[in-house]
Structure 1
Amino acid sequence: MREDPAGLISSQNMAFTDCMKTTDLPAERKGIKRRNWRNRIGLLLKANSSHSILQLRNKTYRPTVDDVSQWAQSLDTLLSHKYGKAAFCIFLKSEFCEENIEFWTACEDYKAQTSHKELVSRANNIYELFIKNEAPKEINLDFHTKNAIIQSLHEPNTTSFLAAQRKVYSLMENNSYPRFILSDLYRELCEAARGEGKLIKS
């Protein structure tokens, strides 16, 4: 996944949609979409089910059955697990809406800043990347939320993006997340975890 937080250009009449639906894609694109996430999940799970190449603090991690089951409890539980969040990012990329999780993550990082100078810098970066009209990774926000962010850029604080972050979280929770739990990708992760689920020191 790209390190910079990602997206589709939005408009006000798209405020209640978070992703391009599979049914909106021509048949050829659907095939490409499925191959793409299968390739990406291959980066998480090797075919022999004995190792994962996802490195977490010098350890190679595979999700356990309990891990994968917990991801179905809530979006918050999923996002609190590094491996679960990585799998969800792969799914969002396959649906062409990874800008939502990347914006949410950027906001989490932003809120953790204690330096005013760093807040100002990051606030402007988030605005340029996700908020302004035709931003590279523009998220779907209503006019009032977007305008409030613009006004706050004069003196940003840790809550400057809070309303927007909550809206994006709600979109993911009500749309992308249920589709993820019902997806072939999640089913394959469940099967892989049942095959072997343990933390392997590298």
Structure 2
Amino acid sequence: MKTLLLLFPQFNYMAPKEEPYFKTLGPQDFLPATMKEESSRHKDKERKSRLSLFLTKSGSHENVSPHKKTNTPSRKISAEVALKWSDCFEEVMKDSDGVEVFSQFLKSEFSEENIEFWLACEDYKTVDSETKLLSKAKYIFTVFIESDAPKEVNIDHSTKMAIEQSISQPTMSCFDAAQKKVYSLMQKDSYPRFLHSDIYLNLTQRKGPGAPMSRRRSRSCVFNERGEVTSASSAW
């Protein structure tokens, strides 16, 4: 009889009746449904973050920037070169140093996913293998596009759905619409602030927005007070 009591503690009236129950279910089973859902979403997001890190380390996201330089110190950028970036946003994006410095600025604003996505799309357009095209398309979608992606960019629902529908058989242009929207966002929203940031002003050797500069803006690219492009020329 003692043996039976040891093997089946539920017959031991001196032992707590709940003991076998708790051992069977465990603490996670007593969480409310909402907390279980939040825990599941959190684990899913952690999985995507780990996937992003793994793909980056494994080389799937190597050389995503056609402008990429290794350890290019911003202090070597001349004031004249930096001043040229104020002509147009295009002047920043076509210069490898400009892309690097602009990326530093976006990191300070916690929006570096925009430039990283744009560069990933530029790299995607250079792929000449169908196998690599599918692999890179899935990477870009997982990291930047799908809901709760670790570096999700801000694009509209219809654009996101169009990409999702084409991701199984991606084309060279499947990210074009999203890339243009992110580019426009950086140009209209981030770029004007970049021109007034300490990162940029230090390169141009200016102390503040009102300090004099020795360079004129291009006639084709002048920003008004609202950060919009106008066609008129103006001196600084």
Query: Which one is further off, 69-78 or 158-167?
Result: 69-78
- Partners in 2 of 1:160 and 1:61 — Cα distance? 38
Partner of 2:198: 184
Conserved 8 A contact 2:78-2:203: no
The answer to whether the 8 A contact 2:92-2:98 is kept is yes
Alignment of structure 1 residues 155-194 onto 2, 5 Å: 155-191=169-205
CA distance in 1, matches of 2:75, 2:82: 13
TM-score, normalised by the number of residues in structure 1: 0.65
What's the offset of the Cα at 1:141? Answer: 1.1
CA distances 1:142-181 after superposition (whole Å, capped 9, x unpaired): 1100000001112111101000000000000000011001
Distance between the aligned counterparts of 2:75 and 2:126, measured in 1? Answer: 26
- Which shifted more, 99-108 or 178-187? 178-187
Counterpart Cα distance in 1 of 2:142 and 2:84: 35
> 1:66 — aligned with what?
80
1:85 to 99, 112, 121: 99
> Does structure 1 retain, via aligned residues, the 8 Å contact 2:194–2:200?
yes
Matches for 1:83-122 after TM superposition, within 5 Å: 83-122=97-136
Q: Which has the larger radius of gyration?
A: 2
For the residue of structure 1 that corresponds to 2:150, the secondary structure is: coil
The residue type equivalent to 1:54 in the other structure is T
Amino acid at match of 2:143: L
Alpha-carbon distance in structure 1 between the residues aligned to 2:164 and 2:129: 20
Look up the SS of the partner of 1:191 in the other structure: coil
Which whole-Å deviations, capped at 9, do the CAs of 1:5-38 have from their partners, x for residues lacking one? 7xxxxxxxxxxxxxxxxxxxxxxxxxxxxxxxxx
Q: CA deviation at 1:61?
A: 7.8
**Structure 1 letter corresponding to 2:204:** C
Instruction: Report if the CA contact (8 A) 2:155-2:178 is conserved.
Output: yes
Preserved contact between residue 138 and residue 167 of structure 2 (Cα < 8 Å): yes
| Aligned-partner residue type, residue 101 of structure 2 | A
Instruction: Provide structure 2 residue ranges, at least 5 long, that are not aligned to the other structure.
Output: 1-52, 62-70, 207-236
- Matching residue of 1:148: 162
Q: Which ranges of 4 or more aligned residues in structure 1 deviate by more than 2 Å? A: 2-5
C-alpha distance in 2, partners of 1:65/1:90? 17
**139-148 or 68-77, which deviates more:** 68-77
Structure 1 runs not aligned, ≥5 long:
6-52, 193-202
Matched residue type, 2:178? A
Match of 1:200 in 2: none
Identity %: 44
- Give how far 1:65 is off: 2.7
The alignment yields a C-alpha RMSD, in angstroms, of 2.1
